């Protein structure tokens, strides 16, 4: 019985040593990764907020500016209405990454009004739908 206790104690000690070694190796890996990170943040975007599934183009990158009050919405038509209705609940990037038909946009807006408490569009609906379908329509 005494011999089994000694073997068990050796196994516990061995497991503790392996755990300590794994923790030290993990700490070294984290330190190495941290040293490879840039010291300055990189604010360049590797995706297009207008179509995140495709590589960004210079034209798309020019549209997106984090300091822009409208987050890159094309500046025509009802862009201020889209900002007013949409940005109260979510970012405008969510709007810009969508690709939906006019019918689908109408369905989404109705759902947001009925289920998510978006204010009713009323007389703004036609302008907002036209803007969304033109700039963020299904291609």
pLDDT digits (tens, 9 = 90+) for 121-137: 999 999 999 999 998 88
Lowest model confidence (mean pLDDT) among 30-44, 52-66, 98-112: 52-66
Spatial CA neighbour of 61 closest among 45, 75, 76, 84: 45
Q: What is the Cα–Cα distance from 42 to 103, expressed in whole angstroms?
A: 38
pLDDT of residue 51: 54
Per-residue pLDDT band at 17 (split at 50, 70, 90): confident
Distance (Å, rounded) from C-alpha 76 to C-alpha 74? Answer: 6
Mean pLDDT within 66-87: 79
The Cα–Cα gap between 107 and 81 comes to: 18
Question: What is the reported pTM?
Answer: 0.53
Average pLDDT (88-115) is 88
């Amino acid at each position: 019985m005494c011999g089994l206790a000694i073997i068990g104690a050796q196994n516990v000690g061995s497991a503790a040593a392996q755990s300590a070694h794994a923790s030290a190796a993990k700490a070294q890996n984290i330190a190495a990764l941290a040293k490879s990170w840039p010291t300055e943040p990189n604010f360049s975007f590797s995706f297009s907020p207008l179509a995140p599934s495709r590589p960004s183009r210079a034209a798309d990158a020019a549209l997106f500016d984090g300091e822009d009050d409208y987050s890159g919405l094309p500046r025509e038509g009802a862009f201020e209405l889209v900002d007013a209705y949409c940005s109260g609940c979510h970012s405008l990037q969510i709007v810009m990454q969508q690709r939906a038909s006019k019918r689908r946009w109408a369905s989404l807006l109705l759902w947001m009004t009925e289920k998510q408490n978006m204010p009713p569009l009323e007389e703004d609906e036609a302008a907002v739908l036209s803007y969304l379908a033109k700039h963020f329509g299904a291609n």
